[in-house]
Structure 1
Amino acid sequence: MTGPTIGRLRVDGATLHYEVRGEGPLLLLIPGGTGGAAAFDGVADTLAADYTVASYDPRGLSRSPLDDPEAEQRVERHAADASRLLDLLSPDAPARVVGCSSGAIAGLHLLTTRPERIERLVAHEPPVVEVLPDAAEHRALLARVRDTFRREGPMPAAAVFAAGLRRPGDPVELPAAVELPPQAAARAERTMADMPYFLGRIVPSFMAYRPDVDRLEALSDRLVLAAGADSRGELPYRPAAFLAERFGTELVHFPGGHTGLTTHPAEFGELLRTVLTT
């Protein structure tokens, strides 16, 4: 399959880098973390057999620069960016949308504010911790991450953040040193370069966001809440499970954990194809 078509879209305060593959109804992929459009490289070509697949770097990350690098980031603004892409690429028909992690949070806001533009939303582990009964504990975690970031820098803050996401008592597993192929190495370099922005601007804002739960419940017939089969009990898993129970809907388990999209791309992509059409 040929490579994606690359586009640039001016939005309020930023310029978005986006990539389009395939033909058919639009499927918009909203990445989480620092992955950007490349986070979906393992599944995009497979999905492009059935859809026009669009992925992008969210504002401020990788190839989507901000006009003001110090601008405050808000879920509402990121959701508006996704809305602009929907209007550009599928102006006459609603689209399917997949969001992972922080991208799933943007997707939830998009669904509640522009439901007429979304046929189905798959939200994989949106860490909307404000819906949880122990939300105060997670606000304390965010405060520790913020304070560590200011005192010691992004990598110690990332360690505090990662520890707060794990199940209580889980051991810390250090990644083994491996030599990456050039494309993967370039992606890893972009990820590390984006870490200060992600921890300093995205994490505090997105994890403080509380979705309109009543509105989501009214729209739950077009919402698929998803989580990793291996991440039961971890913090990003819990809001999806909580909302699915409240709405009386199924929590769909995808292969792997919070990053199953990266660790199990083939299996993740196949289940995603099924979920998008049933």
Structure 2
Amino acid sequence: MNTTATLDRTDARLHYEVRGSGPLIALIGSPMDADAFAPFADELATDHTVLTTDPRGIKRSSVTDPDQDSGPALRAADVAALIEHVGAGPAAVFGSSGGAVTALALVQARPDLVDVVIAHEPPLLDLLPDRVEQLQTADRLIALALSGDRLGAWRTFFAQANIEMPEEMLVQWFGGDADPQHLADEQFWFGHEYRGSVGWQPDIDALRGVPTRFVLGIGEESVGQLCERTTTALGRLLDVEPTRFPGDHTGFVDHPEEFATRLRSVLAGV
């Protein structure tokens, strides 16, 4: 059974979904919404209570002030409120990409709500030796997106991520008209989420001091990509050896059954 509802915050209305029964696991994205996690959530719902949500300002989650930035701490506070509202915590929290940054910010602020965090490929550029150049590239692609050069922004994004993307595919995906909701979500992400996520600086001492168990995930097909570098850098700081998961940066979307099987074994400590 899939329950869909909203939670009102002082400055946002959060869309969330709950399915299944058992120990609570929250699946967090940025900018990925609840729909992107649906097949993966269905796989996990056979033996877990699964919480998914649209991040504030994305799709069905509205904000009072559309010009307010949606940083990791703010998004983490939303997830904390949802976990408390659902009332089944502490939770395992799986965060992907910018959602992994949200998950780490949640552990930093509310470790009492998270017994294990699975941070899958967090793009923490500030942890890299070439952080200055990487953050400058992030600023450049944001400027391209906000100026209306959507194709140029995504071309720069994939080049920085070291993800091979044929030009004809880039043009097909990002060179023409887009669904208005998708375009609005994309613009909100570039304008109000992206820089705060990739530039977030974790408090390593605070994270090392919490009782939460850390799992740092990297896709088996992400070798040589930017997020392999950032996740590995975080692992060195936390003394955590990264764990390989099926697929690449979006392996849980492309291989939901295999990814869920791997996640279960990781949660079980196998």
TM-score (norm 2): 0.90
Q: Does 1:64 align with 2:61?
A: yes
CA distance in 2 between partners of 1:83 and 1:109 (Å): 10
Alpha-carbon RMSD: 2.3
Residues 86, 221 of structure 1: CA spacing in aligned structure 2 closer, same or farther, 3 A cutoff?
A: closer
CA distance in 2 between partners of 1:15 and 1:75 (Å): 17
Q: Does 1:238 align with 2:229?
A: yes
- Provide the residue aligned with 2:16 in structure 1: 18
CA distance in 2 between partners of 1:243 and 1:209 (Å): 12
TM-score (norm 1): 0.87
Report the alpha carbon displacement of residue 189 of structure 1 after superposing the two structures with TM: 6.9
CA distance in 2 between partners of 1:260 and 1:177 (Å): 23
Residues 165, 214 of structure 1: CA spacing in aligned structure 2 closer, same or farther, 3 A cutoff?
A: same
CA distance in 1 between partners of 2:98 and 2:211 (Å): 19
Which of residues 102, 108, 111 in structure 2 aligns to 1:112?
108
After the TM superposition, which residues 1-278 of structure 1 pair with which residues of structure 2 at under 5 Å, given as runs?
Answer: 2=1, 4-33=2-31, 35-90=32-87, 93-166=89-162, 170=164, 172=166, 174-175=168-169, 190-219=181-210, 222-278=213-269
Structure 1 residue identity aligned to 2:77: A
CA distance in 2 between partners of 1:147 and 1:18 (Å): 31
Alignment partner of 1:49: what SS?
coil
Contiguous gaps of at least 5 residues in structure 2: 173-178
Contiguous gaps of at least 5 residues in structure 1: 179-187
CA distance in 2 between partners of 1:157 and 1:96 (Å): 34
The answer on whether the counterparts of 1:237 and 1:258 sit within 8 Å (CA) in structure 2 is no
Identity percentage of aligned residues: 35
- Provide the residue aligned with 2:176 in structure 1: none
- Provide the residue aligned with 1:181 in structure 2: none
Residues 217, 176 of structure 1: CA spacing in aligned structure 2 closer, same or farther, 3 A cutoff?
A: same
CA distance in 2 between partners of 1:67 and 1:153 (Å): 27
Report the alpha carbon displacement of residue 266 of structure 1 after superposing the two structures with TM: 1.5
What is the total number of aligned residue pairs between the two structures?
264
Residues 191, 259 of structure 1: CA spacing in aligned structure 2 closer, same or farther, 3 A cutoff?
A: farther
Report the alpha carbon displacement of residue 123 of structure 1 after superposing the two structures with TM: 0.4
